[in-house]
Amino acid sequence: MTTLSVPISGDLEKFIERMIKDGKGANKADVVRRALREYQENEAVQNILQSEREIAEGKGLRGDLRELAKKF
């Protein structure tokens, strides 16, 4: 595991402290890790939703996966 030192605003520090007080994280590092994981999950969901929109618009790929892979 790597340690990062990141300057944050006073407002963000207060928010993190409130999250700890509310039991949403054991400490500052835990709150930040949880926030980053949630951000990562949200990004994955957005990518899936974008793919679904593209498929609905007829932009999806069809055919044999091995043959399609050869084209790339």
| Structural domain includes residue 66 | no
70 versus 31: the higher-pLDDT residue is: 31
The pTM score is: 0.73
Res 37 pLDDT > 90: yes
Number of domains in the chain: 1
In a domain, 53, yes or no: yes
Measured between its terminal Cα atoms, the distance across the chain in Å is 35
Tell me whether residue 49 is in a domain: yes
Mean pLDDT of the chain: 93
Q: How far is CA 6 from the centre of its chain?
A: 19
In which domain, by residue range, is 28 found?
10-57
Query: Which residues, in sequence order, are CB contacts of 8 under 8 Å at separation 6+?
Result: 16
Q: Is residue 38 part of a domain?
A: yes
Is residue 51 a part of any domain in this protein? yes
Structural domain includes residue 2: no
SS3 71: helix
Q: Is residue 68 part of a domain?
A: no
Residue 62 lies in a domain: no
